Amino acid sequence: MELEALDGAVLAAAGEGRWQLRESGPGEPSCAPAASPFVIGRASDCHLVLPESEALRSQTSRRHCHLLETEAGWSVADGSPSAEPDTGRPKPSITGTRVNGRRVSGAVPLRAGDVLEAGPWRFAFVDRPGAARALDATEILRDVAAGTALKVETDDPRLKEQFGQLHELVQRLAQIPGIEESLTALLAYATSKIAAAEAAAILLAHPDGGFAARLAWQKNLGRMPGFAFSAALLASLPPDRSFFLQSRLKDRSESQSVHDISSGLLLPLWGKGERLGVLYLDNRRNGRTFTEGDLYLGSALASLISLQLALEKQAALARVEENMARYFAPDVVERIVEQSAGSGQVGLDVQERDVTVLFVDMEGFTAFSRSKTPREVSELLNPYLETVARAIQSEGGHVNKFIGDAVMGIFGAQPGEAGGDPARYAGQALRAALAIPEKWRSTAVEKRLSPLRLRLGVNSGRAVVGNIGYAARLEYSVLGDTVNQASRLEKQAPPDRACCSQAVRDLVGGAFEFEDLGEREIKGVGAVRLFLPVRETAA
C-alpha cells in the first residue's frame, strides 16, 4: 500500500524512510509507509512532514495523525501515537483527520481508494502490488464485432431440452415485482413441472432453532392454509443435505396414511452461509414417485427460493436502516443493522466507560412556545435540532436523545467501540460546543428564524453505557453522575457559551484556552470549579 499525494502536491524523500510534502517542485507522486506507526504532521521528526507556515499552524498539528499496520492491514488514527511530554497523554490534532470526508474516531481501517485528509492536504491510499498493465479492449472488441453475428433462438429444441425449464422460470421471475409473488410462482412452478409434487411448501428457520411455514401450495388448487409439520423433526436433520421419502413404504405413519403420501422430498435453503429453511415437496394422493431428475430440478428451485429470501431480508434491513437513520446516530444504526444481519439480538449489555457528555438547551424556548402555534414551534425546533445533531456527529460524537429543545450528545460511548482516549473525547466535545452557537446563528439567519440563544454544558467522567430497558424496548443510553452534572453545568453557562468542569479542563491540557469562573455551588452537586472554553489553541 502507498500514500499518493493529491491536488498537485509531491513527496520528496528525506532519508531513512522519511518524506516531506511539497506543494510543487521535484518529488515522487507517492510513498510507501516504512514504519508503524507512520506519523504525519508538521514536526520535523515525523515520517511524513507537512509544510510549515503561519497560516498552516491553525490547520495542521505537529503530529496530526498516524498510520498503524496490523495483520488485517493499515489503519489511521487522529493525533499523536503516544503520550506527549507536556500532558502525559496522546494529543488530538487541531482540526481532526478525515477519511472519505468523514472525521475519524479511533483507528479506522484504510482500503485501496480511500482519501485521507489532514488539514488542507489530501492523500489517496492506493494498492500497487505489481506492475499490472492497463488493458484497452478496443481492438479486441473490433475483432469480435467483425466476426460472425449469432442470435440465440429461445425456441431452439437443443436449448429447450437443456435449459428450457429454468430459462422460462427466470424470465417469469424477472417480470414479478414482489418477493411474495415470486415465491408463489416458484412453488406453482414446482408442482407443475415435477409430476410427483402434489404439494410444496417453504418452511423458514428462525434464529431460535424453530421453523414456521412461510407459504404452502397444492397443485391446481393454489395456497394451502394451515400447513402442519414437525418443526422438531426438521431441526434434527442435517441442514445441508437433501432427503428422499422412499415410495411404497411398508409402515406408513398415520399422517402419511390420511393424506396418502408415499414419496417426499426435503431440500435445504441457504443464503450467505445462513440456514434459511427447507423446501418441502410431497406426492399426496397422486401415487407418483420422486426421481433423481426431480432432485436436480428441485435443487435449482431451492437455490432460486434462497435467492429470493436473501433479497427480501436485504431489502428489509435496508428499510430498517433508512428508517432508524432518521432517529439514531450513524454508529448506533450500523451496530444494530450488523447484529440484525447476523441473526443476532441487541442485548442488555452495559459497561462502564470514560465519556464526555454535552448538553445543549435553547434559552427562552418555553416562553416562545406559549405564544406560537405547534407548526411555528416545529419550524424553529427541527432546523435547530438538525444543526446541533450534525455538529455533534461531525466531531465524532452521537446524539443520545432529544428532550424537548434540549440535546444530549455523547463522546466516547459509540456502540462497538472498545474504549479509547478520554482526552480525545473531551476535545471533540469542546470543539462541538464552540461551533454550535455560531452554526445555529447562521442557520437561523438563513432560514429567517427567531435566533434564540443557546446554553451548553460539558462534563467528563465514568458512566454506565449500553442498552437500557427490557427485551421488548431498548434504548442505547449513558447514565450516571457524569450525565447529571453536565445537565447542571449547562444551566450555569452564559447565553451562547459552554460551561465545562475541571475534569474536562484537565483532560485537554493546553489544547484549549479557558476563562476561569471560579467555584460555584451547584444544586445536588456541591461546590464545583467552572470554566468557559474560549478557543482551541494551535497545536
- Give 344-536's CATH code, choosing from 3.40.50.720, 3.30.420.40, 3.30.70.1230, 3.90.480.20: 3.30.70.1230
Q: Where are the domains of the chain?
A: 2-126, 158-316, 344-536
- Fold of the domain built from segment(s) 158-316: Beta-Lactamase (3.30.450)
Among 64-68, 281-285, 322-326, the range scoring the smallest mean pLDDT is: 322-326
pLDDT at position 507 over 90: yes
Closest by Cα among 429, 362, 367 to 402: 362
Residue 48 and residue 39 in contact, taking contact as beta carbons nearer than 8 Å? yes
Which residues, other chains included, contact 337 with Cβ-Cβ below 8 Å and sequence gap of 6+? Answer: 317, 320, 321, 324
The DSSP output letter for 82 is S
The cell for 447 is 432560514
* One-character DSSP codes across 205-260: E-TTS-EEEEEEEETTTEE-SS----HHHHHHS-TT--EEE-SS-SS--HHHHHHT
Residue 358 and residue 409 in contact, taking contact as beta carbons nearer than 8 Å? yes
Give alpha helix (H) positions in 91-242.
138-145, 157-174, 179-193, 231-236
Closest by Cα among 224, 170, 175, 176 to 202: 224
Q: Give the pLDDT confidence score for residue 290 in this predicted structure.
A: 85
The cell for 252 is 406408513
pLDDT at position 361 over 90: yes
Rg (CA), the chain: 32
pLDDT at position 338 over 70: no
Pairing of strands 10-15, 115-118: unpaired
Of the chain, the percentage scoring pLDDT greater than 90 comes to 35
The DSSP output letter for 509 is G
Q: Give the pLDDT confidence score for residue 248 in this predicted structure.
A: 46
Burial pattern 377-410, b for ≥16 Cβ within 10 A else e, equals: beebbebbbebbbebbbbbbbbbbeeeebbbbbb
Closest by Cα among 57, 69, 89 to 79: 89
The cell for 36 is 508503524
- Spatial distance between the Cα atoms of 441 and 397, rounded to a whole number of angstroms: 21
- Spatial distance between the Cα atoms of 301 and 202, rounded to a whole number of angstroms: 11
- Spatial distance between the Cα atoms of 8 and 25, rounded to a whole number of angstroms: 10
- pLDDT tens digits, 237-247: 777 777 766 55
Taking each helix axis from N to C end, the angle separating 292-324 and 330-341, rounded to the nearest 10 degrees, works out to 160
Residue 312 and residue 179 in contact, taking contact as beta carbons nearer than 8 Å? yes
Give alpha helix (H) positions in 95-156.
138-145
Strands (E), 330-447: 350-362, 398-403, 406-411
> Is residue 322 exposed (0-12), middle (13-18) or buried (19+ Cβ within 10 Å)?
exposed
- Spatial distance between the Cα atoms of 166 and 162, rounded to a whole number of angstroms: 9
pLDDT band at 334 (very low <50, low <70, confident <90, very high): low
**Alpha-carbon distance values, 8 to 21, 59, 436, 496, 505 (Å):** 11, 19, 34, 41, 40
pLDDT band at 337 (very low <50, low <70, confident <90, very high): low
Which residues, other chains included, contact 228 with Cβ-Cβ below 8 Å and sequence gap of 6+? Answer: none
Closest by Cα among 126, 291, 327, 121 to 196: 291
Q: Give the pLDDT confidence score for residue 343 in this predicted structure.
A: 47
Q: Model pTM? A: 0.48
Mean pLDDT within 464-469: 76
Q: Give the pLDDT confidence score for residue 249 in this predicted structure.
A: 44
Give alpha helix (H) positions in 448-518.
481-490, 502-508
- pLDDT tens digits, 139-197: 656 665 665 665 556 566 655 555 566 667 777 787 787 888 999 999 999 999 888 89
- Spatial distance between the Cα atoms of 72 and 299, rounded to a whole number of angstroms: 37
3-state secondary structure 54-69: CCHHHCCCCCCEEEEE
pLDDT band at 310 (very low <50, low <70, confident <90, very high): confident
Of the chain, the percentage scoring pLDDT greater than 70 comes to 81
- pLDDT tens digits, 256-268: 454 567 778 888 8
Q: Which of 127-136, 160-169, 336-345, 346-355 has the highest mean pLDDT?
A: 346-355
Taking each helix axis from N to C end, the angle separating 422-447 and 374-394, rounded to the nearest 10 degrees, works out to 140
- Spatial distance between the Cα atoms of 139 and 145, rounded to a whole number of angstroms: 10
Q: Give the pLDDT confidence score for residue 133 in this predicted structure.
A: 43
Which residues, other chains included, contact 301 with Cβ-Cβ below 8 Å and sequence gap of 6+? Answer: 169, 186, 189, 190, 267, 279
- Spatial distance between the Cα atoms of 337 and 353, rounded to a whole number of angstroms: 23
- pLDDT tens digits, 41-82: 999 889 999 998 888 888 999 999 999 988 778 999 999 998
Closest by Cα among 322, 339, 340 to 330: 322
- Spatial distance between the Cα atoms of 40 and 26, rounded to a whole number of angstroms: 20
- Spatial distance between the Cα atoms of 433 and 360, rounded to a whole number of angstroms: 8
Residue 403 and residue 330 in contact, taking contact as beta carbons nearer than 8 Å? no
Three-class SS state of 150:
coil
- Fold of the domain built from segment(s) 2-126: Tumour Suppressor Smad4 (2.60.200)
- Spatial distance between the Cα atoms of 247 and 294, rounded to a whole number of angstroms: 14
How many degrees, rounded to 5, is the angle at CA 23 between CA 18 and CA 29?
55
